[in-house]
Amino acid sequence: MNILHVNKFHYEKGGSEAVYFRTADILSAQGHNSYFFSMVHPNNVPCCTDNYFVSHIDLNSTLSIQQQIRTVARILYSTEARKNISSLLDEYKIDVVHLHNIHHQISPSILMEINKRRLPVVMTLHDYKMSCAS
């Protein structure tokens, strides 16, 4: 199977990224092909799909009011993420999508493109941000 792993960070930043990478390693060891969709970052592990990654966003930096408004809009819906994942899905025949942390940097906008193609989705909840605003 061709599996697309989606996470906002593509380097070992914490526990969720460790799970993201180890899951891909386990599946690859079983003969499956692992592909990735994430955010551009200087610490990223290189991969064949990194040209589809969304542009970097640093939520810990000081932003102007205009930048804050653009950032909030992107958190809710990212046209860049939807367009990029669409291009990736056009290029690679993906059988299943495994979502990890997609909130903030990637956004739920990618779900529309995945659903449009009727791809099965598995989501590992590392936290409850997608279901609980607090």
Domains and CATH numbers, the chain: 2-123 (3.40.50.2000)
pLDDT digits (tens, 9 = 90+) for 8-42: 999 999 999 999 999 999 999 999 999 999 999 99
Global confidence as pTM: 0.87
Both structure tokens of 52: 């589809």
| d(C-alpha 79, C-alpha 96), whole Å | 22
Using pLDDT thresholds of 50, 70 and 90, give the confidence band for residue 129: low
User: How long, in residues, is the chain?
Assistant: 134
- Based on the number of CB atoms within 10 Å of its own CB, is 96 exposed (0-12), middle (13-18) or buried (19 or more)? middle
**pLDDT digit string, tens, across residues 42-53:** 999 999 999 999
Q: Going by C-beta distance under 8 Å and a sequence separation of 6 or more, which residues neighbour residue 62?
A: none
